[in-house]
Chains A and B, each alone.
Chain A
Amino acid sequence: MQRVLRIQAALGSAIREYLNGEGFTELLPPIIGPVTDPGIRGAKQATIDFYGREYKVMSSAILYKQMMAASLGRIYFFSPNVRLEPLETAATGRHLVEFVQVDVEESGATCEDAMRRAESLVASVSRYAKDRLGSELAALGRTLNGAAPPFRRLSYGATLEILKGHGRDIPYGVEIPWAHEEFLSSLFAEPFFIHDYPRGSRGFYDREDPSRPGILKDFDLLYPEGYGEASSGAEREYEYAKVIARLRETGENPAKYEWYLDMLREGIPASAGFGIGVERLTRYICGLKSVWEARPYPKVAGVFSP
Chain B
Amino acid sequence: MPRDAEIRLRDRLSRLGGLDLLRGARLSGELERLQRQLDRIEAEPTDEEIWRSVELARHQNRPYTLDYVNRIFEDFFELHGDRGRGDDAALVTGLGQLEGRTVAIVGHQKGRDLKERTTRNFGMAYPEGYRKAVRVMELADRHGFPLVSLVDTPGAYPGVAAEQHGQGGAIARCQAAMARLGVPTVACIIGEGGSGGAVAIALADRVLMQENAIYSVISPEGCAAILWRDAGEARKAAAAFKPDAAHCLELGVIDGIVPEPEGGAQGNHDEAARLLAAALADSLEELEDVPRRELRAARREKFRSMGVLA
A and B interact physically: no
